[in-house]
Amino acid sequence: MSTSTAPRTASGDVAIRDRADVLRQVKTVVVLAIAALLVLLFALSVDDPKIYWTLEERARLDTRRTLNAHVVAWSAFGYLVVALVLAALNRIRRGWVAGLVFFGAGLAFYAGFLMWFFADQRELAGIGAISIVNPLPQTVLYATPLVLGALAGTLCERAGVVNIAIEGQFLMGAFFASVASSLAYSAEAGLLGGALAGVAVASLLACFAIKFHINQIVLGVVLIALCLGLTNFLLGQIPTARENPVLASYLNQPVTLDPIRIPVLADIPVLGPALFNQSLLAYLMYASVALVTWLLFQTRWGLRVRAVGEHPKAVDTVGINVARRRWSAVLLGGVFAGLGGAFFTVGSTGAFDQNPSNGQGFIALAAVIMGRWHPIGATAAATFFGFMLATRDQLSVLTKIDSELLSAAPYLATVIAVAGFVGRVRPPAASGEPYLKS
Amino acid sequence: MKLEIRGLTKRFGSFTANDGIDLTVEEGEIHCLLGENGAGKSTLMNMLYGLLEPTEGEILVDGEPVSFSSPGDAIDRGIGMVHQHFMLVPVFTVAENVALGREDVRGPGILDRRASARRVRELSEAYRLSVEPDAIVETLPVGVQQRVEILKALTREAKVLILDEPTAVLTPQETDELFAIMRRLKAEGTSIIFITHKLREVRAVADRISVIRRGKVVGTTSPQASEAELAELMVGRKVNLVVEKSEREAGAPVLSARDLVVVDPRGHQVVKGVSLDVRAGEVLCVAGVQGNGQTELVKSLLGLVRAEGGSITLAGEDITHDSPRARLERGIGYVPEDRSSDGFVGDFSIRDNLVLDLFRSEQFSRGPALALRAIADNAEARIEEFDIRTPSASTHVAALSGGNQQKVVVAREMSRPLTVLIAAQPTRGVDVGSIEFIHQRIIAERDQGVAVLIVSTELDEVYALADRIAVMYDGRVVDVVGPDTPREEIGLLMAGGRDSTDGQNDVEDIA
Amino acid sequence: MSEAAATVQEEEKQERSARLRDDIVTTMLAIVAALLIGAVLIAFSYERSLDSLSYVFSYPQDFFRHSGDAIWTSYEAMVKGSVGSISALSETLERAAPLICAGLGVALAFRAGLFNIGAQGQMIVAALAAGYVGWTWDLPVGLHLLVSIGAAVVVGGCYGGFVGALKARTGAHEVITTIMLNYIALLGILAFALLHPAFQRPGQTEPLSDRVADSAAYPVIGDLHLGILVALLAAALTWWILDRSTLGFQLKAVGSNPEAARTAGMSVPMAYTSAMVLAGVFSGLAATMLVNGDRFAISSTLFGTIGFDAITVALLGRGKPLGTVLAGLLFGALQVGGRAMEATSVGTSPDLAQVLQALIVLFVAAPALIAALTRRRRREPPPAFAAPSTQEEAA
């Protein structure tokens, strides 16, 4: 009876190519083509190919070296063309090889762009700052709070609680880290204070989301408003140094964290100074990434937390308390978010000033989604942000690009990334849904 | 283990779901609980399993009163349950699902995945369940997922196993396989409570049968009782199991599909080159086990999922690239399979739901504004015509019973002139009275010359309605047969037993 | 039949009024609870009550007297400063007008199932458009204002609609894209424009815009510019869209159950896009109230937290136009009154207003909490807050 005439493959499928697969290939080709074209323009526009560079964080006239921009830009272009041809022939399939190829493409574009940006600066050559420096130490610095915040978001969402309030946790963490550090005259105490403040906000989140079933997005926004108002209000209660120097120093003159140089490891070229000459907070951040990944995927607690985030009723029916798992995940997330908040005071500038995190909690939230709710993915996304921020700083030495465009670039990049490459991703199935027993 | 229930009552507000239920399940007995949708079977079982707290009454295990405040308590007393909607985490492996709650751990709570997998493999072999521990649950056929659920109960040493509507998703062959497993468990002394509304199955496997109606046990009988007797007990009146249907000559093909291919979001082909013709004035039923591509086939006919290959024509015109709205406006009526997610907006009133796809028409709008008067009048008329039981037209549809919700959907789709009616599982989760009503309306549409396409997993429904039966298996129509084809033969087709396109397809999924 | 219909309608009316009564009671209780917590904060921020805390066990009455004084003075100032005089009242109304408009935008998107955090960004770009028309073009009085408003509305609508289109086409989550577009507007577009000759005030080096011409200003009665009237008209329009139009029918259907809406032939992408366009339009309108009514110039601090407050206004208003108006008025009063508190001898920080706002919304959003506090049983949570439930029908 069947009138089917279409050819079939061995598994019985009709031999036809899936649109999603075609779309993915088209997207790859288009992106690589644009990148290649831009790098070509960069390469062509370089007149004076002499560029100074150094592997250190800051450029000095005596240690900087030179390179030929033409060589770098044209090899970057060559790489992109090869990748483009491979993509056009559909030779780049999913998997880690493709990941490496794209990472390389990103690097090639970055290199080509830097060549254009720093070339033709003959008249400024005497200024040491006009050199390409190692962006990684700055990247790690900027990424520290973002990674910690993203870990908090990941933990919460894996347990089925949407945490928009990372920004609020940052604010409270920052404030109480400053207060604790000032009171105890110890930066480590500041970290503790920050973590506790993060947990306090988390417990509000957990209480209202898990116990009172409030829409969690609404709740997150309200908590941010509350934390913003509260920290501003509390800050207003602390006298300024001019009004009451004693009290001010007790409450908002924190001891900040110093970089700790780890011997041997810090001597690894390029990566060493970036990763192993950082403050205690950065080391805590590395440990947190490993800890969260291990907890979620290798332990009983993690299995249950993930199950609660996917199918709470299934968990309930095997006799596990859903609310308790959610509480524990949200509270643990609070520790990380609070530590992330501490970065903005004891981890960097010191005293708390109005709204120090300035929306970075939202970026951490974006990193959670871009990282597809996986701690490693979220870390990678947060690091990408840190890199964008570091690049912004690095490029601000020249006025080739408007500084406003530079400051907007990380956000623009997120929109492009979320719209172009992340798109419809699958969150934990029960994320955002309160669990009500029937 | 012997389980007794005495005077168990559960009230939700003013609604009494269970009213003084008495029931005794002996050790090593398969006790069938027979009842219509909404009779209160699931409420009763949820109380037995600690998911709901009884309002009154007691539960006794081996003569000892127990009270369960959570499923954990019930599990500890040896009660296991296989839920109608599986309680499996789709993205976890089989071993992880089975282990959840009773994980094998080393040291400070570190998962021992190897031990968990070993446990699954051992039990699976012991009960001949053939379940692979490392498979991801969402990739498994439903029959296997159900066996994973049974495994979950077995690892918790369940002495009383509750199976809630377990056969709804199975082929006749898989059902037989399940019955064999049930008998093996019974032989080892496990008591089984088997919940169903399918009379045939009850008589095949039960030791004793309790019939539940409107929250009360109305009788306990032996499997020797006739189907008609059981049906009458279950519904409370004589049931007309057949729809009256006159012979009718089918006209020309109205809706035609050629070589339709649908790919799911994970990139698997779920409809693999289906060709169908639905003719004017006939009912074509698509039979098949849940998950063999029927859902996607229907959605592609409506334009809700994209057809990656093939073409669809309606009355000779190509509609393959039309939007759902354009197709609806061409006269396709659609009763979706999952009514609460696709059929209506639960927060909307009945009034609004009755014009959900009609509100743009001249009758119900004036330019950019809604014609509220006409919408209200329409609601009064449809509620009357379709006997929708509701306090008022402004009641939210979510607050109605399943049967009345479905009547809202059916009323809406039939309140405009149709050329084709596509109805997927039109009576799933609907009470017997509403089933009869909906079936009559469908036949009435056919008699007016509408081409009707019904998708159903219930063979009873297929036989009641069909003029022709197309059987789907693994994304393909394996055969189209007449309505007098014997049950066994269709059962075999549904299991892919006779594949007309390539005979090499064996029943490996079921074994 | 007609009699039965009449009783049914009567019942409906009763049910609606009962729900309204519930909403009002909950909101009142939430306000009281927030004010109580605020009172504690005031007491502990007042120097003299803190001083008396050190000997609270020997002279407890001192602490309570000082605290009581502080609380009374602060709240009295807040009420007087917001509604106590004509000028206070008009300041409150001026403050409320943009909050209401932006809140309507958030509420409308909310009903379509979209969480619009982008009011701020939409306002920024709209304000630049309104301002540009306001100071460069030379048009007759009245027309100038209309054209300026029109420019704001169009640009705001485009900025909002972009988010909707992105969501519809690529599935990009609107929470992320709106947040990012806020930063792009603030750090990129606004910062760039304020230093650009087309926008910057001549002779200025600071990032401050030119001044809007008087011909493009909202008409004024006494101290009050008539932006509030526009806000009320916008609320009426929102009501009509949501409750009376086919467009609103689709928006609500898509917001409540996108799958069913799609199955019924509605275009979900269209609904998302039009909802966000409308949201941007209302944000744009809000921007004109600052640029053409209140301040007449744009600086980087002009917008403050208003985009964020708009969200809380919409939430407190339960996504309904009337509720949004009332919530906007309340928040306007709180903010204006908050500044009056600072001017008293107690000198309570105006940031308290923001804390109060957040607490009120928090308590309103938690009907279960209010019920627990007052042992009242609510029938159901208000629809705007009803979180999706995993509950299955108990049958």
**C contact test, residue of B392, B400, B406, B431 with most C CBs within 10 A:** B392
Is residue C81 within 8 A of residue C337, CB to CB? The reply is yes
Region of poorest pLDDT, from A9-13, B385-389, C10-14: A9-13
Neighbours of C72 (CB within 10 A): 13
Mark whether B103 and B139 lie in a shared domain: yes
- What lies within 8 Å, CB to CB, of A213 at 6+ separation is A434, A436, C368, C381, C387
Nearest chain C alpha carbon to A402: C192
Residue (of C125, C127, C76) closest to C98 by Cα position: C127
Residue (of A378, A368, A364, A370) closest to A417 by Cα position: A370
Nearest chain A alpha carbon to C353: A229
Smallest CA–CA separation between C321 and chain B, in Å? 18
Q: Residue C57 has what DSSP assignment?
A: T
Is residue B285 within 8 A of residue B459, CB to CB? The reply is no
Question: Which band of pLDDT confidence, cut at 50, 70 and 90, is reported for residue C184?
Answer: very high
Question: Which band of pLDDT confidence, cut at 50, 70 and 90, is reported for residue A118?
Answer: confident
Region of poorest pLDDT, from A260-269, B307-316, C3-12, C238-247: C3-12
Q: With left for phi above 0 and alpha for psi between -120 and 50, is residue C197 left, alpha or beta?
A: alpha
- At C388 the pLDDT is 35
Mark whether A34 and A141 lie in a shared domain: no
* Most confident option among A17-31, A124-138, B396-410, C324-338: C324-338
Does residue B66 sit within a domain? yes
Per-residue pLDDT reduced to its tens digit, A145-166: 999 999 999 999 999 999 989 9
- At C51 the pLDDT is 74
Per-residue pLDDT reduced to its tens digit, A268-307: 877 887 888 888 999 999 999 999 999 999 999 999 999 9
Per-residue pLDDT reduced to its tens digit, B307-332: 988 999 999 899 999 999 999 999 99
* Most confident option among A13-27, A66-80, C360-374: A66-80
Mark whether A86 and A235 lie in a shared domain: no
Distances in whole angstroms, Cα of residue B180 to Cα of each of A3, B123, B127, B511? 38, 16, 10, 12
Q: What is the mean pLDDT of residues B261-273?
A: 85
- At B409 the pLDDT is 94
- At B413 the pLDDT is 93
- At C368 the pLDDT is 63
Neighbours of B5 (CB within 10 A): 20
Length of chain A measured in residues: 438
Per-residue pLDDT reduced to its tens digit, A354-384: 888 888 898 898 889 888 899 999 999 999 9
Neighbours of B201 (CB within 10 A): 20
CA-CA distance, A353 to A355, in Å (whole number)?
6
- At B399 the pLDDT is 84
Judge whether B43 is closer than 8 Å to chain C, CB to CB.
yes
**A contact test, residue of C124, C163, C169, C184 with most A CBs within 10 A:** C184
Per-residue pLDDT reduced to its tens digit, A159-205: 999 998 999 999 999 999 999 999 988 889 999 999 999 999 999 99
Per-residue pLDDT reduced to its tens digit, A67-114: 888 899 999 999 999 999 988 887 777 678 888 888 899 999 999 998
Q: What is the mean pLDDT of residues B256-274?
A: 88
Residue B400: is its pLDDT beyond 50?
yes
| The two three-digit tokens of residue A7, written as one number | 């050819």
Question: Which band of pLDDT confidence, cut at 50, 70 and 90, is reported for residue A128?
Answer: low
Mark whether A218 and A324 lie in a shared domain: yes
- What lies within 8 Å, CB to CB, of C175 at 6+ separation is A164, A217, A365, C115, C117
Nearest chain A alpha carbon to C37: A230
- At A7 the pLDDT is 64
Q: Three-state DSSP class for C366? A: coil
CA-CA distance, A77 to A116, in Å (whole number)?
13
Question: Which band of pLDDT confidence, cut at 50, 70 and 90, is reported for residue B500?
Answer: very low
| Percent of chain B's residues with pLDDT above 90 | 39
> Mean pLDDT over all residues of chain B?
87
Mark whether A183 and A84 lie in a shared domain: no
Does residue B387 sit within a domain? no
| Percent of chain A's residues with pLDDT above 70 | 93
CA-CA distance, C98 to C290, in Å (whole number)?
7
Among C247, C263, C266, select the one facing B368 at the smallest CB separation: C247
Q: Three-state DSSP class for C325? A: helix
Q: Three-state DSSP class for B193? A: strand
Is residue C217 within 8 A of residue C296, CB to CB? The reply is yes
All partners of chain C with 3 or more CB pairs under 8 angstroms: A, B
| The two three-digit tokens of residue B425, written as one number | 């599982």
Domain boundary residue among A124, A157, A181?
A124
CB pairs under 8 A between A and C: 169
Is residue A140 within 8 A of residue A386, CB to CB? The reply is yes
Distances in whole angstroms, Cα of residue B130 to Cα of each of B122, B145, B168, C144? 10, 11, 21, 78
- At C366 the pLDDT is 73
A300 CB neighbours in chain B (<8 A) are 103, 105, 109-111
Residue-range definition of the domain harbouring residue A372:
136-422
Smallest CA–CA separation between A257 and chain C, in Å? 29
- At A349 the pLDDT is 81
Among A214, A237, A435, select the one facing C390 at the smallest CB separation: A435
CA-CA distance, B25 to B32, in Å (whole number)?
10
Q: How many domains does chain A have?
A: 2
Mark whether A120 and A140 lie in a shared domain: no
CA-CA distance, B350 to B401, in Å (whole number)?
12
Mark whether A314 and A235 lie in a shared domain: yes
Question: Which band of pLDDT confidence, cut at 50, 70 and 90, is reported for residue B192?
Answer: very high
Question: Which band of pLDDT confidence, cut at 50, 70 and 90, is reported for residue B501?
Answer: very low
Q: Beta strands B283-287 and B468-473: pairing type?
A: parallel
Question: Which band of pLDDT confidence, cut at 50, 70 and 90, is reported for residue C373?
Answer: low
Q: Three-state DSSP class for A355? A: coil
CA-CA distance, C395 to B495, in Å (whole number)?
31
Element (H, E) at A232: helix A216-237
Mark whether A200 and A112 lie in a shared domain: no
Smallest CA–CA separation between C247 and chain B, in Å? 7
- At C223 the pLDDT is 81
Which regions of A271-407 does DSSP assign to beta strands (E)?
277-278
- At A144 the pLDDT is 95
Q: What is the mean pLDDT of residues A44-59?
A: 82
Smallest CA–CA separation between C198 and chain B, in Å? 40
User: How do the residues of chain C divide into helix, strand and coil, expressed in percent and rounded to 5?
Assistant: 75, 5, 25
Rounded to 10°, the helix C119-136/C143-170 angle is: 150
- At B509 the pLDDT is 37
Question: Scanning the structure block, which residue is given the tokens 């539940």?
Answer: B212
Distances in whole angstroms, Cα of residue C304 to Cα of each of A48, A218, C119? 46, 20, 12
Cross-chain Cβ contact B370/C244 below 8 Å: yes
**Identity of the amino acid at C315:** L
Mark whether B210 and B281 lie in a shared domain: no
Does residue A310 sit within a domain? yes
Q: What is the mean pLDDT of residues B100-112?
A: 88
User: How do the residues of chain B divide into helix, strand and coil, expressed in percent and rounded to 5?
Assistant: 35, 25, 40
Residue C384: is its pLDDT beyond 50?
no
CA-CA distance, C188 to C191, in Å (whole number)?
6
Per-residue pLDDT reduced to its tens digit, C282-301: 999 999 999 998 888 898 88
- At B239 the pLDDT is 64
| Percent of chain C's residues with pLDDT above 90 | 46
Does residue A181 sit within a domain? yes
Question: Which band of pLDDT confidence, cut at 50, 70 and 90, is reported for residue C382?
Answer: very low
Mark whether A239 and A348 lie in a shared domain: yes
Buried b (16+ CB within 10 A) or exposed e, C298-318: beeebbebbbbbbbbbbbbbb
Distances in whole angstroms, Cα of residue A436 to Cα of each of A335, B48, C374? 27, 18, 22
Map out the domains of chain C as residue ranges. 16-84+348-383, 99-335
> Mean pLDDT over all residues of chain C?
85
Residue B371: is its pLDDT beyond 70?
yes
Q: What is the mean pLDDT of residues C143-150?
A: 95
Question: Residue B334: beta bridge partners?
Answer: B422
B475 CB neighbours in chain A (<8 A) are 12
Region of poorest pLDDT, from B160-174, B200-214, B473-487: B160-174
Does residue B391 sit within a domain? no
Cross-chain Cβ contact B100/A18 below 8 Å: no
Element (H, E) at A251: helix A245-252
Residue (of C389, C356, C168) closest to C275 by Cα position: C168
Cross-chain Cβ contact B392/C393 below 8 Å: no
Q: What is the mean pLDDT of residues C166-192?
A: 89
| Percent of chain A's residues with pLDDT above 90 | 40
Q: Beta strands B253-263 and B309-314: pairing type?
A: antiparallel
Residue B397: is its pLDDT beyond 50?
yes
Among B52, B267, B477, select the one facing A20 at the smallest CB separation: B267
Does residue A207 sit within a domain? yes
Q: Three-state DSSP class for B431? A: coil
CB pairs under 8 A between A and B: 139
**Identity of the amino acid at B63:** G
Compute the Cα dihedral for B385, B388, B390, B392 and give only its sign: negative
Mark whether A97 and A240 lie in a shared domain: no
Mark whether A144 and A119 lie in a shared domain: no
Residue-range definition of the domain harbouring residue B212:
3-235
Question: Which band of pLDDT confidence, cut at 50, 70 and 90, is reported for residue A3?
Answer: very low
B329 CB neighbours in chain C (<8 A) are 265
Among A217, A229, A408, select the one facing C188 at the smallest CB separation: A408
Q: Which ranges constitute the DSSP H helices of A46-93?
A: 69-88
B91 CB neighbours in chain A (<8 A) are 310, 429
- At B242 the pLDDT is 67
Does residue B511 sit within a domain? no
Q: Residue B269 has what DSSP assignment?
A: E
All partners of chain A with 3 or more CB pairs under 8 angstroms: B, C
Is residue B127 within 8 A of residue B185, CB to CB? The reply is yes
CA-CA distance, A114 to A354, in Å (whole number)?
35
State the pTM of this model: 0.85
Mark whether B340 and B446 lie in a shared domain: yes
Per-residue pLDDT reduced to its tens digit, C34-80: 999 999 988 888 777 777 777 777 777 888 888 888 888 889 989 99
Neighbours of B409 (CB within 10 A): 25
**What values do phi and psi take at C201, rounded to 5?**
-65, 130
Burial of residue C262, with CB atoms counted within 10 A of its CB: 0-12 exposed, 13-18 middle, 19 or more buried: buried
Per-residue pLDDT reduced to its tens digit, A40-50: 999 998 888 88
CATH number at residue B91: 3.40.50.300
Does residue B367 sit within a domain? no
Residue (of B156, B138, B155) closest to B88 by Cα position: B138
**Exposure of C310 in the CB half-sphere (CA atoms within 13 A):** 36
| The two three-digit tokens of residue B487, written as one number | 């049950």
Residue C116: is its pLDDT beyond 50?
yes
- At B71 the pLDDT is 87
Mark whether A115 and A164 lie in a shared domain: no
**A contact test, residue of C124, C175, C311, C385 with most A CBs within 10 A:** C175
CA-CA distance, C294 to C288, in Å (whole number)?
9
CA-CA distance, B177 to B231, in Å (whole number)?
25
Is residue B263 within 8 A of residue A20, CB to CB? The reply is yes
Residue A12: is its pLDDT beyond 70?
no
Question: Which band of pLDDT confidence, cut at 50, 70 and 90, is reported for residue B356?
Answer: very high
Q: Beta strands B283-287 and B269-279: pairing type?
A: unpaired
CA-CA distance, B209 to B205, in Å (whole number)?
10
Residue (of A215, A217, A212) closest to A163 by Cα position: A217
Mark whether A86 and A148 lie in a shared domain: no
CA-CA distance, B103 to B132, in Å (whole number)?
18
Does residue A129 sit within a domain? no
CA-CA distance, A41 to B381, in Å (whole number)?
70
Burial of residue B21, with CB atoms counted within 10 A of its CB: 0-12 exposed, 13-18 middle, 19 or more buried: buried
Is residue B419 within 8 A of residue B451, CB to CB? The reply is yes
Does residue A432 sit within a domain? no
- At B504 the pLDDT is 39
Among A5, A304, A313, select the one facing B259 at the smallest CB separation: A5
- At C395 the pLDDT is 30
Is residue A390 within 8 A of residue A406, CB to CB? The reply is no
Question: Which band of pLDDT confidence, cut at 50, 70 and 90, is reported for residue B165?
Answer: confident
Is residue A172 within 8 A of residue A227, CB to CB? The reply is yes
Residue C5: is its pLDDT beyond 70?
no
Domain boundary residue among A82, A97, A124?
A124
Length of chain B measured in residues: 511
C55 vs B298, which has greater pLDDT? B298
Q: How many domains does chain B have?
A: 2
CATH number at residue A410: 1.10.3470.10
* Torsion from C-alpha of B478, B481, B486, B492, nearest 10 degrees: 0
